[in-house]
Structure 1
Amino acid sequence: EITLAMAAMAARLLLVLTMAAAAFAGRVGEGNAPASQNWRRGKIRAALLERIPSIPPLAFQVTPLYFEANNTENRAATTPHLLQFKGRGDDYCAMMEPLKDRLFEEHGVRIRCFEVWQDTKNLELLRIFDNGRCGGVPFFYNKRTKRWICGATTYDNLRKWALDEMCDPFLAPRELIEKQQNEQGEMQKNIQQFVQKIKATAREKMGLSVDDDEDD
């Protein structure tokens, strides 16, 4: 796209310079030329201007191909088709770092990482590859197989994804599931305690004892 835009600009500039030179050379006799001849010259110039190729309006839009061609950070030490989008300081992204190190030690595979919370270009690239499938980080995308993983996952699932095998896009690690279950249990416990407190306050205002409430 950039090459096309530059070629269009060069062609336009060359044609404008050619027309300017021709106009300057013919201006000597233009004053004495018939009006019909001057009118014909104007029509020719207008026709030439219409044939000048215009610059594509989206020539400089960030696309995956253009962005990756200009993003050489750590490319030599990574596997180009394996991408991870992450957020700095995110707990789930931090959970994946030891698994990525193990993946490199056992299979020699490194994943190209793009930080999206503080880099708008990386965020735009995430939106292109995510396409509404995950909506968060970490997000892993394999450009070769088009397979992806949303969120933290197990090492075995990450290994399958990196080695171009079938993987589960939403397989969370066991410890994360247990943590979420514990948090949900704690939340339910807090809700129950809150409800009991409201009931106790209501009984107190109504002058009822616990035994009276149980009899009802």
Structure 2
Amino acid sequence: MLAVSARQRLELFLFRSLVSFPETVKKVSASAVHAVLPEAELLGKPHLIGFYAEQSMEAKRMRFLGDLLEKELPGTKIVWLEAWDNPLNERLRATIDLRNQCGGVPYLFNRKTGKVLCGVVAYDKLRAWAQGLGGDARIYRDLGE
């Protein structure tokens, strides 16, 4: 029997939820995530999902900013999923990005608000996105101006 990690169970759960009910993408409940992940691994209730690629400099920059955000805002956790080398994660990203507005990484999704970020964005926009403040559900493309 194959051993399945808690992270793989979460990825599979999110994938099944989004494929089965794409119209309820932002409504995957925190309690359902608790059912998939052991309490010790949760570190709060992750509702922020980031897709990245090891080969992408832009994605590395966003992961760095995400790490800063997690340090600045206690209880904030971004679940990072590698999308280029993992077909399941890429399929999940493509399912969330139904209209293919972004089409790649970095791609960040807030399950509570349904808002997304695409590409490299300024830190203040990342923080506002994570807190669910301001903005709208459109994809931001910001070159860090």
| Contact 1:79-1:111 within 8 A present in 2 as well | no
Q: Which runs of 5 or more structure 1 residues have no equivalent in the other structure?
A: 1-61, 176-216
Q: Deviations over 1:94-138 (max 9, x none)?
A: 111221122112112120111111111111111111111210100
Tell me whether 1:64 sits opposite 2:30 in the alignment. no
Aligned length: 113
| Contact 1:78-1:111 within 8 A present in 2 as well | no
Tell me whether 1:172 sits opposite 2:142 in the alignment. yes
TM-score (norm 2): 0.66
What root-mean-square deviation, in Å, do the aligned CA atoms of Structure 1 and Structure 2 show? Answer: 2.7
Q: Which has the larger radius of gyration?
A: 1
Q: Which runs of 5 or more structure 2 residues have no equivalent in the other structure?
A: 1-14, 21-31
Tell me whether 1:125 sits opposite 2:78 in the alignment. no
Partner of 1:76: 42
Instruction: Decide which structure has greater helix share.
Output: 1
Partner of 1:144: 112
Match of 2:123 among 152, 155, 172: 155
**Cα pair distance change 1:96/1:106, threshold 3 Å:** same
| Contact 2:52-2:107 within 8 A present in 1 as well | yes
Match of 2:83 among 92, 109, 116: 116
Cα offset, 1:75, TM superposition: 4.9
| Contact 2:120-2:144 within 8 A present in 1 as well | no
Which is further off, 73-82 or 121-130? Answer: 73-82
Matched residue SS, 1:153: coil
Partner of 1:105: 71
TM-score (norm 1): 0.46
Q: Distance in 2 between the 1:75 and 1:172 partners?
A: 32
Q: Deviations over 1:125-166 (max 9, x none)?
A: 111111112101000111110110111111000001100112
Matched residue SS, 2:84: coil
Q: Distance in 2 between the 1:121 and 1:147 partners?
A: 21
Q: Which has the higher contact order (CA 8 A, sep 6+)?
A: 2
Match of 1:91 among 35, 46, 57: 57
Q: Which amino acid aligns with 2:127?
A: R
Q: Which amino acid aligns with 1:138?
A: P
Matched residue SS, 2:42: coil
